[in-house]
Amino acid sequence: MIMARPKPIEEIVDVVKDFDKVLVAGCNGCVAVCEAGGLKEVEILASTLRMYFSSRQKAVEIGEISLTRQCDKEYLNELQNVIGNYDAVLSIACGAGVQFMAEMYSDRRIFPGVNTNFIGVTLEKGVWSERCAACGECVLASTGGICPIARCSKRMLNGPCGGSSNGKCEVNREIDCGWHLIYERLKTLGELKRFETPTDAKDWTTSRDGGPRKNIKEVSQA
């Protein structure tokens, strides 16, 4: 799922401090699972803002709402009768949700309350880790199911580099070397021979390098 983390409260306060009525809008999709932008986080952020403004004797009305998803018009429509009551919205959905809300309510000020950072998994309670870089042309079939684009700091297709040490990346010891993981997996699968054939330069047109992307599902005419 798409991962995000809350923006520092100082940064949030700075963008909303001049408004009288602010709506905090959460999303019950991915960002709820990674505990950055769901119903619970809406409550926490709204309370924090109320305390902040009341301690400064500033009357700011903070509203709360959480939508099923902010990346679908159907759910964003639920704001139609509410949004007019506010000067600004703090969306704590991912960057797609924030933008889609701004697209639909183009006369409103919509601000992001989280930093969207990656596509990943829940390793354990409170720990999320990147797995996919959305390059648009999946290579997992040849790398033992471990992505070198997302998990190698240099997105090498012929790794590991010379900086791999004790299974860790040269960038820092907290990062597993993606290619070390690939090596271990291929060894387990008895497919180490894959290491002997150079992988060609990747076609990045399906990635962000090809410009903003769009998927259109072909509808069968049967």
Partner 1 sequence: MSTTTPSKLEKILAAGHFAVTSECGPPRGADITVVDEKAQLVGPYVDVINVTDNQTAVVRMSSLASCIRIKQMGFEPVLQMTTRDRNRIALQSDLLGAGAFGINNVLCLTGDHQSFGDHPTAANVFDVDSTQLIKIVKKMRDEKKLYSGFEMATPPQMFIGAAENPFADPFEIRVLRLAKKVAAGAQFIQTQCIYNMDKFKTWMGEVVARGLHEHVSVLAGITPMKSVGMARYMKTKVPGMDVPDELIKRLQGVPKDKVAEEGVNIAIEQIEELKQVPGVRGFHIMAIEWEAKVPEIVQRAGLYPRPKVD
The residue among 94 and 177 lying less far from partner 1, judged by its C-beta, is: 177
Nearest approach, Cβ of residue 167 and partner 1 (Å): 7
Please answer whether residues 38 and 28 qualify as being in contact, where contact means their C-beta atoms are separated by less than 8 angstroms: yes
Contact between residue 97 and residue 119 where contact means Cβ atoms under 8 Å apart: no
- 180 interacts with partner 1 by CB under 8 A: yes
Applying CB under 8 A, the span of 7-15, 53-61, 72-80, 188-196 interacting with partner 1 comes to: 188-196
In whole angstroms, give the CA distance from residue 80 to residue 82. Answer: 6
Cβ 203 to partner 1 shortest distance, Å: 11
Among 119, 156, 185, 206, binds partner 1 (CB under 8 A): 156
Size of the site for partner 1 (CB under 8 A): 32
Distance CA 49, CA 38 (A): 16
User: Does the footprint of partner 1 cover residue 159 (CB under 8 A)?
Assistant: yes
Helix axes 9-16, 39-55, angle to 10 degrees: 70
- Work out how close the CB of 181 gets to partner 1 at its nearest, in angstroms, rounded to a whole number: 10
| Run of H or E including 2 | strand 2-6
**How many Cβ atoms sit within 10 Å of the Cβ of residue 102?**
16
Tokens of 82: 């509410």
* Residue 189-208 contact track with partner 1, rule CB under 8 A, x = bound: ---x--xxxxxxxx-x----
- Asked if 143 touches partner 1 (CB under 8 A), the answer is no
Residue from 171, 205, 208, 213 in contact with partner 1 (CB under 8 A): 171
Smallest distance from partner 1 to CB 157, Å: 6
Contacts of 81 (CB under 8 A, 6+ apart): none
**How close are the terminal C-alpha atoms of the chain, in Å?**
34
What's the rounded Cα separation, in Å, for the pair 161 and 6?
34
Candidate list 158, 189, 191, 210; residue touching partner 1; CB under 8 A: 158
Closest approach of partner 1 to the CB of residue 175, in Å: 10
Q: Judged by CB under 8 A, which stretch of 20-28, 105-113, 121-129, 176-184 contacts partner 1? A: 176-184
Q: Map residue 159 onto helix, strand or coil.
A: coil
Smallest distance, Å, CB 195 to partner 1?
4
Give the pairing of strands 114-124 and 2-6: antiparallel
Residues of the shown chain interacting with partner 1 in the complex, contacts defined by CB under 8 A: 153-167, 170-172, 177, 180, 183-184, 192, 195-202, 204
